[in-house]
Amino acid sequence: MKIIIFGAPGVGKGTQAKILSAKLNIPHISTGDILREAIKSQTELGKKAKTIVDSGELVPDDIVGEIVKETLTSTKCKNGFILDGFPRNVYQAELLESMLKEISNFGLILIKLNADDEIIVKRLSSRRVCSNCGNILNEAEITNDFICPVCHAKNSYYKRSDDEESVIRKRLMIYHEATAPVFNFYKNKAAIIEVNGTHSIEEVTKEILDKLSFRQS
């Protein structure tokens, strides 16, 4: 099963990708993770990417695409994958289409998590992160002298700079301009599953699995 998980920043793509990866027994391929791994492992592409990252520039689509291709053609993806964070624009979608034609484009599924922008802004701007272990909670869950339920650190939760409302709105603007058109690109190229991403994590997972089962039946 080859899955692209798609949606605006903060809609829960990474969370659902990890859950689905465990339930479907196929790898979760996060482009951020594999890019960092390529840099850490000092592969040829990783070295190129590191030079660009160190200069403060964004890694070009072609290099990101080649790193994704290396992963998708590896043995760990022989039974499928869940792709998270790629493609981010139509050009990347075209690169992916070329890759999948080599691998086998059969059975490509795009899962789109939908949510209103204002809900996403409220959700992300309310996030707080434990400085000790990285656990994420909503600000409403954190009281005075709060102890982290994961690492038991005291008063360790803070608001990340990228969870400021102005930053979130800028990310959403970029998503609508560059990434949202990817959905139209796949309308006739993949099986489309749309899910309301504002429901609870468990409800979203159940709806996805129910719709996947229906597709497979």
Kindly list the catalytic residues: 13, 88, 127, 160, 171
Q: What are phi and psi of 163, to 5 degrees?
A: -100, 10
Kindly tell me the burial class for residue 39, based on how many C-beta atoms sit within 10 Å of its own C-beta (0-12, 13-18, 19 or more).
Answer: buried
N-to-C CA span, the chain: 14
Closest CA to 157 of 182, 140, 175: 140
7 touches 112 (CB < 8 A)? yes
